[in-house]
Structures are given as structure tokens and as C-alpha cells.
Amino acid sequence: MARPLGQRQLGESFWPDLGNLVVAVRRAMWITLLNLFRKPVTVQYPTVKRVYPDRFRGVLALTYDKETAEENCIGCRLCEYVCPPQVIKVEMLKAEKRNFAKTFTLELYACEFCELCVQVCPTDAIIMMKSFDLATSDRRELLLDKDRLHTIGLQFDASWATGTGLRAMQTPPKAAAEPKPAAGEAKPAAGEAHVEAKAE
């Protein structure tokens, strides 16, 4: 059985171990040399920003209605109920024509990015953005209130996924409808087709 490297018995020669060490160092230096001439895979962030893939979904944000410029959130609290780590807190403000969120906070530092809040939102008010650029060394900056969430919604590009879009994707396709019989063509009575087939 091969003896592990470095476990020499007393009195054994150290030359085999030294040989193995030289081979290992030479191999490592060769790989380093090869990498010197390779194109880097990293970028100088934040000066250089990568183009995110089309389906990228990052930080969460709140949206406004593009036509009326009103907040889309109706304060229904569905996102709060569904959030697994319970990082969303919403207070509803009842109004005459529609409801609003009086307060809306999201603890982004504890968010799992599971997207469940986006999926249940009936008004596409909460969405994910095509960015993650909120890196900070101060945890408190990731406690997002309503204003901050709206600002993020205006700051970055929205991802493709909205609650309406995601729910449509998950709805099973409807079964194809049976063709209607032509006018004047009587529908065969139950069992008739079976009897005809037997007579033949």
C-alpha cells in the first residue's frame, strides 16, 4: 500500500518526498504561468458592470402605475403573510376609492429571494429588479422602507417577472374544446355508435 506523503519512518531517506515536492511545485508554477496569459474572468466592479442575463432577478422594489403615477400597492398584506422568513411588514391605509400601504418595510438582509411575495401580489406592486447593486457594510441600509423601495424601483431596470406574468406561467393550459356538430347533424344517442359498430 502506498505510504502517504510526509509519513517517513525513522531512518528512511527523504529524497522520495523531496522529489514529490519538487514535482508538485513545478506543476503549480506551470498552471500559474498559463493563467498569466489568460483573459481575466473578473471585472473591475463597480467601474465596470456586467450585463445581466435576461432572466436575472435581484433586489426587490415597489412600483408606481405608469399611467396614473399612483402607488400600485394596495396594502393587502398578502406578501407579508406568504414571506417565509417574515421580513415584510405592511400596514394598510383604507381610503375611499382604493387602499394604500401606510407603511411598508422589507428587511433585505434577511430576504431569501424566493420571489413568493412577487408571485402573490395582485397588483404587480412588488417586483424584482435586474440588479443586485445594494452592497453595503452597514446592515441598517438594507432595512428598506416604502420610499426607499419606490426609489429602487425607479433606479434599476425591472426584471421580466411580475406577479401576473408568473401566475400566468403556472396556470395549466386549458383542454382543447371538442368540435361542435354541424347544423342539422344530429348528435348520436348514447350507445348508438357502439351498436352500429357491432352490426358491421
| CB of 137 vs ligand SF4, minimal distance in Å | 21
Q: Which one, 75 or 153, has the nearer CB to ligand SF4?
A: 75
CA distance 17 to 177: 77
Q: Which one, 20 or 136, has the nearer CB to ligand SF4?
A: 136
**57, 115 in Cβ contact below 8 A?**
yes
Q: 193: helix, coil or strand?
A: helix
| Cis bond before residue 179 (omega within 30° of 0) | no
| CB of 96 vs ligand SF4, minimal distance in Å | 18
CA distance 113 to 58: 8
Q: Which one, 30 or 90, has the nearer CB to ligand SF4?
A: 90
**76, 68 in Cβ contact below 8 A?**
no
Q: Which one, 52 or 116, has the nearer CB to ligand SF4?
A: 116
**57, 161 in Cβ contact below 8 A?**
yes
Q: Which one, 16 or 85, has the nearer CB to ligand SF4?
A: 85
* Binding positions for ligand SF4, rule: CB under 6 A: 73-79, 82-85, 87-88, 90, 101, 106, 111-117, 120-121, 123, 125-126
Helical spans, DSSP H, in 60-162? 78-82, 116-120, 146-155
Sheet holding 88-93, edge to edge: 88-93, 100-107, 143-144
| CB of 50 vs ligand SF4, minimal distance in Å | 22
| CB of 174 vs ligand SF4, minimal distance in Å | 27
| CB of 52 vs ligand SF4, minimal distance in Å | 18
| CB of 186 vs ligand SF4, minimal distance in Å | 53
Q: Which one, 17 or 92, has the nearer CB to ligand SF4?
A: 92
**163, 76 in Cβ contact below 8 A?**
no
